[in-house]
Structure 1
């Protein structure tokens, strides 16, 4: 269940996709800084619809051996005893409503202590402040709730009745989880969750229960089918393309950028997210931007709505470096590594000779500079040895090449680009022991190599780009305040 659609696949034990189905959806943006989804009418309905379609494609003589669901996250779904959501699900870091709660909880527990215990400073990505926001602003909802869920654990509960949360998702529910210990940070978790019980912790490829009769009728999946926990969709996608060993990295090119790197030893950095991984006892670093492809879509709209083919042709005709034009792609604030919900987008260096193609290329390059900044932070924990690129943004002839040129890193593009649902299928197969735990279905189709002719130019521009945000931060904050006042 992604930000823009839900997708399912029916896969055999060799990794061959037998059938797939996709249902598009949109998140709700009811107020500035809010991002929500109706968990029941969107996520659960779409899981039911897709499961029914795929169940009808099972070859004769075969059976559905297991099911696994991942979803956007970390999110917050508050339910009653009947698993009825009491309010729309509050989404991951794109929902920035809990800024006051982030500040208050940081003051209460201490930033250094949070970083040491949870591995990550509190930000809009964290679930703890979202729970605190509901408690403070919607006390009647909080009081009625009897359980809290992520997107995938809500579906697991609807399928099996089990109240669980996978370790990876829990490790993004800061400050509720002690990442270095792979367990709940019990004192803080009970303070924030109050009367709400803590879910049973499981690893993403563990079987958590079986499809019960009511869920079987709704989904078309036979009663008794084992259900595997699943996790946050970006990590399922990383798993699907073989990002599993220390030094492996995934770059996800989508509406936002999401980056994952597997690390060998526990490492915390205030500019990153430290999390549990997919496999038992594994650790990872993660980072995410607030915009990426969404900024390309915005720019396409405001410049007249020309086709992407036309725009990419114009941008491709512009030389590397966009003739001195650089962009800060902070149109929705920024998550890692600056963690500033009040950051704003910026073009610097505009002249009359710059055209539409320059703007598009500069945006791609600005996103690339942000990726380089994050990867340099990743290297402090474990030097990246293998980078796999995924996501719809790879259809752009410029974007991934600019990233390789800017970072100096080759990128491997897998043959199978289905995404998180393919990783879910692999976790399901591992969970019921139909394949060995080390099984990897990923096949590499091509490699994007850096163009050394562009490296010196990009190194120089990157130095300027890095100075742009701190040099303008106070000014754009003032502009934001004026805009909010209007």
Structure 2
């Protein structure tokens, strides 16, 4: 028997997991991380990443024989960056994935042709390359050599004890050419020489755990260290969405979709961008600003589980979330619908910086307010797939649902009904599991299906089209995308 270690460096915590050949979790542990936030500023201490990782892996491996450990891989937040010295010691705090103090004008001016060729058209201020320039702006002339390090580069170096390449997934937002798999001249012209690490595909061996790291982390010395990915790609790997046309839809605080295509997608809006998979295929995706976060904002202090059971009884069919029979007759065409933005502005399936939440109709009580948010989130998810189909992405494969929303059978059934497709639920789809798979595990054995939910006969086309028309009328959804959504709904 072999055991693989997957590590997920998140925003709020580090998660370590030891996974056996059949997907059994033999040990798991987490440690919290702290952030410094102030308006657009969001920083973390890189040394805290290492301390938390070491504590989490020691606990996760407490009952795992060291002779069984076969590999380790690390996932990290996309776009998080810092500067280190030549020995890998941090020279700056880490600017996290959503730090927005930088300006992207310079990188978009210099690299416009490259970003266009790579399909995402432009960089955002919170991407890693603009933040690197921001970190360098006050550096004195003649300062010691500096290295750019993504979040998992920093800890991978500690694991192996020497400088390591970065992976294409984490390097995407630093401007790597994903087609040529190298740094383009436009990026190299913006930065000091020798600042950027070499680039390899996720899944590439980086070295082995050194003696010092073994003593601190409990990971046996000599364990292969494998190049990881961003956390979103890790979750996709953990969900098993790796075949052309398959998609992982993650609905938690916000909604994120990631799929697999044979060819690189080019999105005229730039709201969809693609990572490169270990096998050379493409992993397009987009992140909406809508999601379950609207529930805690709009229904503060309410018992959401009780509201879910009541909504299932009123609108659902079959059984409610607590297992009792549902007495509802389905969704009326005039059911209230909320566009559940968690924060101002939308990123996917359209670009609307000024978008704000709204509700169509008047909910009669908290149960209807709750149901309106669930329905709106399901409609946004459907619209994402309509938009992906419009730009040429294959969307006919398996749809795997993960994230906190899958804890509600009622919401899961609603999403299947809105999509008009079966949806798959996994037993475990954590990013840490995805990294255990990438470290060398067999995905066909390690990724287990919990259930497949078939769509019912509930007809939600009319309220969906009413929702699409409202987004178009407000000027957020372009006419072509709205027309395509209507055409797909009529099929």
Do both share a fold (TM > 0.5)?
yes
What are the within-5 Å matches in structure 2 for residues 51-62 of structure 1?
Answer: 51-59=57-65, 62=67
- The yes-or-no answer on 1:19 pairing with 2:27 is yes
Do the aligned partners of residues 62 and 198 (structure 1) sit closer, same or farther apart at CA in structure 2, a change above 3 Å counting? Answer: same
What are the within-5 Å matches in structure 2 for residues 75-474 of structure 1?
Answer: 75-92=80-97, 94-98=98-102, 101-110=103-112, 113-117=114-118, 119-124=120-125, 126-136=127-137, 138-139=138-139, 146-160=146-160, 161-173=162-174, 176-185=175-184, 187-195=185-193, 197-269=195-267, 270-301=269-300, 305-316=301-312, 317=314, 320=331, 323-340=335-352, 342-349=353-360, 351=362, 354-379=364-389, 380-417=392-429, 419-429=430-440, 439-467=444-472, 469-470=474-475
Do the aligned partners of residues 335 and 142 (structure 1) sit closer, same or farther apart at CA in structure 2, a change above 3 Å counting? Answer: farther
Aligned partners of 2:45 and 2:93 also within 8 Å = yes
Do the aligned partners of residues 366 and 17 (structure 1) sit closer, same or farther apart at CA in structure 2, a change above 3 Å counting? Answer: same
- Whole-Å Cα distance in 2 between the matches of residues 152 and 295 of structure 1? 31
Consecutive unaligned residues in structure 2, runs of 5 or more = 1-8, 316-329, 479-491
- Whole-Å Cα distance in 2 between the matches of residues 102 and 89 of structure 1? 18
Secondary structure of the residue aligned to 1:452 is: coil
Do the aligned partners of residues 249 and 5 (structure 1) sit closer, same or farther apart at CA in structure 2, a change above 3 Å counting? Answer: same
1:60-99 Cα offsets, whole Å, 9 max, x none, are: x83322211112213212222343333332222x43333x
Aligned partners of 1:127 and 1:172 also within 8 Å = yes
- Whole-Å Cα distance in 2 between the matches of residues 246 and 26 of structure 1? 38
- Whole-Å Cα distance in 2 between the matches of residues 35 and 142 of structure 1? 28
Aligned partners of 1:325 and 1:358 also within 8 Å = no
Do the aligned partners of residues 78 and 463 (structure 1) sit closer, same or farther apart at CA in structure 2, a change above 3 Å counting? Answer: same
Offset of 1:27 from its aligned partner?
A: 4.2
- Whole-Å Cα distance in 1 between the matches of residues 387 and 415 of structure 2? 16
Aligned partners of 2:167 and 2:202 also within 8 Å = yes
Secondary structure of the residue aligned to 1:40 is: helix
Aligned partners of 2:110 and 2:186 also within 8 Å = no
Aligned partners of 2:80 and 2:150 also within 8 Å = yes
The TM-score normalised by the length of structure 1 is 0.83
Offset of 1:140 from its aligned partner?
A: 5.6
- Whole-Å Cα distance in 2 between the matches of residues 192 and 297 of structure 1? 43
- Whole-Å Cα distance in 2 between the matches of residues 216 and 11 of structure 1? 18
- Whole-Å Cα distance in 1 between the matches of residues 164 and 354 of structure 2? 38
Aligned partners of 1:120 and 1:273 also within 8 Å = no
Secondary structure of the residue aligned to 1:177 is: coil
Secondary structure of the residue aligned to 1:446 is: strand
The farther-off stretch of 21-30 and 286-295 is 21-30
Q: What is residue 324 of structure 2 aligned with on the other side?
A: none
1:429-473 Cα offsets, whole Å, 9 max, x none, are: 25xxxx5xx755222121222333233233323323432552699
- Whole-Å Cα distance in 1 between the matches of residues 133 and 177 of structure 2? 18
Aligned partners of 2:118 and 2:179 also within 8 Å = yes
The TM-score normalised by the length of structure 2 is 0.83
- Whole-Å Cα distance in 1 between the matches of residues 177 and 387 of structure 2? 22
1:386-409 Cα offsets, whole Å, 9 max, x none, are: 111112221134433333233323
The farther-off stretch of 366-375 and 47-56 is 366-375
Secondary structure of the residue aligned to 1:369 is: helix
Aligned partners of 2:417 and 2:457 also within 8 Å = yes
Offset of 1:4 from its aligned partner?
A: 3.4
- Whole-Å Cα distance in 2 between the matches of residues 13 and 158 of structure 1? 27
1:131-155 Cα offsets, whole Å, 9 max, x none, are: 233334x546996671122222221
- Whole-Å Cα distance in 1 between the matches of residues 92 and 377 of structure 2? 34
Aligned partners of 1:150 and 1:169 also within 8 Å = yes
Consecutive unaligned residues in structure 1, runs of 5 or more = 474-486
Secondary structure of the residue aligned to 1:238 is: helix
